[in-house]
Every structure is written in structure tokens, then in C-alpha cells.
Amino acid sequence: MIEHNKQVAEELSKLLAESYTLYLKTHKYHWNVTGPMFHSLHLLFEQQYTELAEAVDTIAERIRALGWKAPGSYAEFAKLSTVGDATGDPDASGMIKELAADHRTVAERANRVLKLAGEHEDEGSGAVASDRIEIHEKSAWMLSAHLG
């Protein structure tokens, strides 16, 4: 296994941890959202956690393709993620603000993966990261649009 693969795999592991943590938080908020925006947010959160469920598989498989083990426990994810667990009982606006900020955080992580992959001429990891940037930036925008 090549050293640069390890560096990219380590950054992808952080992206995986942050994406999985965001998946869990989005799913929790899907179950618990209330208020006048319930229907639209319930559907939006479902779309977003469904997309994230597919994304974590893609990211983990990329780590494996580089020859490294993908993290897969809550303890590993907690250690690697800068996205925090859902705590407390925020209202719908609080959920939106938190998820939008988290999507921006994950987009920033994906951008770090993209830059590192570019330095190492790793087109596969770069493509994964580029896709994630676009999706997380759009998700943050869609969430923030609910706040007016």
C-alpha cells in the first residue's frame, strides 16, 4: 500500500465519519420534527438521509479500494468526526440551522479530500469528493431556504 493512499484514506475516513454522523442526525430529526413545516421538512430530511446512506457506502468502498480498512463503529466515528451528535430537542428552525451548518462542514471536509487527492493524482478519490461537495452545498442551500 502506497503512503499517499494512506493519507487520502485517512481524510476519506474523516469524511465517512462526518457523513455517517450527519446521516444519524438527519434521521433523528426526520423522526422528531414538528410544527408548521413538518411535512416539507419530514420529506426533505428523508431525501437527505437516504442520499447520505448511499454516500457512506461509496466513501467506505473508496477507502477499501485504496487498500485500507474503513472505520465503522460509533466510537471510531466519534473520534474522527467534527460533526457532533444530535443533542437536546431543537425546534424545526434549530434543526434546519444545525443540519445546514453540518452540511457545510462536510462539504469543507470533502474539499480537503479533493485537494489531497489532486496532489496525489488520485482521480477516483477526487471524483468522490467532488460529488460530495456539490451535494452538501446544495443540501445546505435547500435547508437554509426554509428559513427565509
The pLDDT assigned to 32 comes to: 97
Rg (CA), the chain: 15
The pLDDT assigned to 51 comes to: 98
Say which residue, 80 or 87, is predicted with more confidence: 80
Please compute the mean of the pLDDT values over residues 126-140 and round it to a whole number: 98
3-state SS, residue 71: coil
Q: Cα–Cα distance between 51 and 53 in angstroms, integer?
A: 5
3-state SS, residue 82: coil
Let me know: does 121 contact 130? Beta carbons within 8 Å: no
Residue 3 has pLDDT above 90, yes or no: no
Percent of the chain at pLDDT exceeding 70: 97
Q: Cα–Cα distance between 16 and 130 in angstroms, integer?
A: 14
pLDDT digits (tens, 9 = 90+) for 7-21: 999 999 999 999 999
pLDDT range class, residue 94, cuts 50, 70, 90? very high
One-character DSSP codes across 39-58: HHHHHHHHHHHHHHHHHHHH
CB atoms within 10 A of CB 115: 12
**Cell output for 147:** 428559513
Helices (H) and strands (E) in the chain, counts: 5, 0
pLDDT digits (tens, 9 = 90+) for 16-55: 999 999 999 999 999 999 999 999 999 999 999 999 999 9
Residue 1 has pLDDT above 60, yes or no: no
Please compute the mean of the pLDDT values over residues 66-91 and round it to a whole number: 96
The full length of the chain comes to 148
Residue 4 has pLDDT above 70, yes or no: no
Sign (positive or negative) of CA dihedral 16, 49, 73, 65: negative
**Alpha helices for the chain (secondary structure H):** 3-32, 38-65, 74-80, 92-119, 123-145
* The model's pTM: 0.96
